[in-house]
Amino acid sequence: MKKLKLIILYSTIIGVVGFLMFSLSPEPGDKGPFVLREGTPAPNVKLTDLKGKNWDLSNLRGSVVIVNFWATWCPPCKEEMPSLNRLYNRYKNRDDFEVLAILYQDQPESARDYAMAGGFDFPILLDPSSLTAGAYGLTGVPETYIIGKNGVLVKKFIGPVNFDDQNLIAFMDQLLASSVQ
Distance CA 27, CA 11 (A): 27
pLDDT of residue 39: 92
Cβ proximity of 134 and 32 under 8 Å: yes
pLDDT digits (tens, 9 = 90+) for 42-92: 999 999 999 999 999 999 999 999 999 999 999 999 999 999 999 999 999
Distance CA 142, CA 25 (A): 23
Question: For the range 162-165, what are the long-range contacts, defined as Cβ-Cβ under 8 Å and sequence gap of 24 or more?
Answer: 162/80, 162/83, 163/80, 163/83, 163/84, 163/86, 163/87, 164/83, 164/86, 164/87
Domain for residue 43, yes or no?
yes
Domain for residue 33, yes or no?
no
Helix ranges (DSSP H) in 28-118: 75-91, 108-118
Neighbours of 120 (CB within 10 A): 19
Domain for residue 9, yes or no?
no
Q: Is the pTM of this model over 0.85?
A: no
pLDDT of residue 28: 38
Q: What is the number of domains present in the chain? A: 1
Domain for residue 32, yes or no?
no
Domain for residue 8, yes or no?
no
Question: What's the rounded mean pLDDT across residues 88-99?
Answer: 97
Domain for residue 83, yes or no?
yes
Which range among 1-15, 18-32, 147-161 shows the weakest confidence by mean pLDDT? 18-32
Domain for residue 114, yes or no?
yes
- Which amino acid, one-letter code, is at 113? D
Domain for residue 24, yes or no?
no
Angle separating helix axes 166-177 and 75-91, nearest 10 degrees: 50
Domain span holding position 150: 39-177
CATH of the domain at 131: 3.40.30.10
- Mean pLDDT, the chain, rounded, equals 87
pLDDT of residue 36: 82
Q: pLDDT band at 10, cuts 50/70/90?
A: low
The CA–CA distances, whole Å, from 87 to 66, 97, 163 equal 10, 10, 6
